[in-house]
């Protein structure tokens, strides 16, 4: 049985459409791309952040000897380079002309009317029931992006000091991480962070890449600059490892939601549960170092990936708070369990929508936007309470077992007792489905 879901894809590069139209393979392409046919001799700006001495400061991001200069500089670098690409006409539409409003009501959901985002798109097939899928170099990936879409390289400095080189060569052998524009932006300054771009990494989080994303949030130092991650099965559109980020000068509803502490880790990380919010999720904050916080979240993400549970991540508050949100919307779509009125909106609830920034494609939906309608959509995304607790047990079991890798262990909390390992093992056996049963060959047309 093959189930197909019609889904509006997101074109993130001007060369993505060319791939669909012409089926081109890389090799003497003449498009000034990032692959081996064009990359020799290429140079890009390089921002090297201070990775050493990454103890968290009082404000929760790494201390710099001269903090104001590097923080302000990365912020201005992102925006300056992004605006330069806007002046050059590289975006598919002017996102600054999109109507945006805060929806009246208790939660303050943000609605944007973005009719240009879903025009002239060609479908790409991804399985909806597999969070981990191998990288396929024949499909669009970020080595096929035009060099003009790349803003700068983003790497740890070798000497432990912040550095900026306006014209640094690309070191293909060491596979640099790069920041590029999203040509179909959701908001001002919408960029993509692509870790170790030449390693052909599929869309799956690892410790190194997640720490890189936290460094970017901390270095930017702007609370209105957030990074997001979508796994496959949770509306990632490209199976090449990347994070998204943009600026929006309002507080997201998820950032205002109350939380209840579940436990503390012995590395200083506090884990809480979201309350009074339509999507169930976990909040990670604190940590003795930035790396402690990063490892705790990335190990939880790795656990979800290995158990085939799709999820989204929001990196908030300059990297000090991280929301981990397992979801099941695509599974419900495949099973025909989502109401037609919600499907008709063509809204794919990924990290930004789940956080409360509703990107709407129809004028009708924008005009009728309300707390109630936003809640209805997001409630379909959330795991049930029972399933959420099962997933939490898997996560805490993974964190506990991670002690052999130098990871955190759970501290005893008088209010919350983590589930015993025997129970975690039973859950692993009984609830490993996570998504649509693998006996059904489910594909999602993105």
Dist CA 142 CA 119 (whole Å)? 21
Distance CA 54, CA 66 (A): 14
State the pLDDT at residue 394.
Answer: 96
Residue 69 is part of a domain; what is its CATH number? 3.30.428.70
State the total domains in the chain: 1
Asked if 227 and 243 touch (Cβ cutoff 8 Å), the reply is yes
Position 6 in a domain:
no
- In angstroms, rounded to a whole number, what is the distance separating the alpha carbons of residues 195 and 154? 9
pLDDT of residue 431: 38
pLDDT at 321 (0 to 100) = 98
Tens of each residue's pLDDT in the chain, 446 residues: 333 333 345 688 777 755 544 444 434 577 899 998 999 999 999 999 987 444 444 444 444 333 444 446 899 999 999 999 999 999 999 999 999 999 999 899 999 999 866 554 444 456 778 999 999 999 999 999 999 999 999 999 988 889 999 999 999 999 999 999 999 999 999 999 999 999 999 999 999 999 999 999 999 999 999 999 999 999 998 999 999 999 999 999 999 999 999 999 999 999 999 999 999 999 999 999 999 999 999 999 999 999 999 999 999 999 999 999 999 999 999 899 999 999 999 999 999 999 999 999 999 999 999 999 999 999 999 999 999 999 999 999 898 775 445 556 666 444 444 444 344 444 444 433 444 333 333 333 33
The pLDDT of residue 184: 92
Q: Angle of helix 385-401 relative to helix 421-430, nearest 10 degrees?
A: 120
The candidate with the shortest Cα–Cα distance to 13, out of 84, 81, 74, 85, is: 85
In a domain, 284, yes or no: yes
pTM, rounded to two decimals = 0.85
395 is a domain residue: yes
In a domain, 210, yes or no: yes
**Angle, CA 298 vertex, CA 295 and CA 299 arms, to 5°:** 80
The answer to whether residue 150 is domain-embedded is yes
Structural domain for 317, as ranges: 12-445
Residue 227 domain-assigned?
A: yes
Decide if 205 contacts 305 (C-beta within 8 A).
yes
Query: CB burial class (10 A; 0-12, 13-18, 19+) of residue 134?
Result: exposed
Contact 152, 179 (CB under 8 A): yes
pLDDT score recorded for residue 146: 94
Rounded distance between C-alpha atoms, residue 62 and residue 41, angstroms:
34
Q: Which of 178, 190, 290 is nearest to 240 (CA)?
A: 178
Three-state secondary-structure class, residue 294: helix
* Residue among 64, 190, 215, 242 flagged as catalytic: 242
Domain membership of residue 7 (yes or no) is no
Q: Residue 194's closest CA among 147, 243, 133? A: 243
Q: Which helix (H) or strand (E) holds 262?
A: strand 259-264
Spatial distance between the Cα atoms of 314 and 317, rounded to a whole number of angstroms: 10
Question: Residue 5 domain-assigned?
Answer: no
118 labelled catalytic? no
| Alpha carbon separation from 200 to 108, 225, 233, 238 (Å, rounded) | 39, 27, 19, 12
């Amino acid at each position: 049985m093959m189930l197909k879901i019609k889904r509006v894809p997101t074109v993130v590069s001007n060369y993505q459409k060319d791939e669909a139209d012409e089926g081109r393979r890389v090799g003497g392409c003449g498009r000034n791309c990032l692959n081996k046919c064009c990359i020799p001799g290429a140079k890009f700006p390089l921002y090297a952040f201070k990775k050493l001495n990454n103890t968290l400061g009082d404000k929760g991001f790494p201390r710099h000897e001269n903090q104001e200069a590097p923080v302000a500089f990365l912020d201005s670098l992102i925006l300056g380079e992004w605006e330069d690409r806007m002046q050059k006409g590289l975006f598919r539409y002017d996102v600054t002309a999109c109507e945006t409003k805060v929806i009246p009501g208790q939660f303050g959901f943000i609605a944007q009317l973005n009719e240009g985002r879903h025009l002239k798109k060609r479908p790409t097939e991804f399985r909806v029931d597999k969070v981990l899928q191998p990288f396929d170099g024949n499909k669009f990936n970020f080595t096929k992006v035009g060099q003009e879409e790349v803003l700068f390289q983003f790497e740890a400095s070798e000497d432990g000091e912040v550095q900026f080189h306006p014209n640094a060569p690309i070191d293909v052998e060491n596979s640099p991480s790069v920041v590029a524009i999203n040509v179909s932006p959701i908001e001002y300054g919408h960029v993509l962070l692509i870790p170790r771009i030449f390693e052909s990494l599929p869309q799956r989080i690892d410790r190194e890449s997640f720490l890189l994303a936290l460094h970017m949030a901390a270095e930017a130092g702007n609370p209105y600059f957030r990074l997001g991650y979508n796994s496959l099965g949770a509306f990632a559109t490209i199976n090449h490892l990347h994070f998204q980020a943009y600026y929006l000068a309002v507080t997201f509803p998820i950032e205002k939601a109350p939380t209840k502490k579940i436990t503390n880790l012995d590395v200083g990380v506090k884990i809480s549960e979201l309350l009074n919010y339509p999507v169930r999720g976990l909040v990670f904050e604190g940590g003795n170092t930035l790396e402690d916080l990063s490892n705790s979240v990335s190990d939880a993400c790795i656990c979800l990936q290995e158990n085939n549970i799709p999820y989204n991540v929001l990196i908030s508050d300059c990297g000090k708070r991280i929301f981990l949100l397992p979801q099941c919307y695509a599974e419900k779509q495949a099973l025909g369990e989502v109401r037609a009125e919600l499907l008709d909106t063509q809204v794919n609830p990924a990290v930004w929508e789940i956080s409360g920034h509703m990107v709407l494609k129809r004028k009708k939906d924008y005009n009728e936007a309300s707390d109630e309608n936003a809640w209805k959509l997001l409630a379909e995304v959330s795991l049930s309470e029972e399933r959420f607790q099962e997933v939490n047990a898997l996560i805490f079991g993974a964190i506990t077992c991670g002690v052999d890798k130098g990871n955190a262990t759970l501290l005893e909390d008088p209010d919350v007792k983590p589930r015993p390992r025997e129970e975690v093992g039973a859950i692993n056996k009984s609830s490993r489905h996570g998504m649509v049963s693998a006996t059904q060959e489910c594909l999602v047309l993105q």
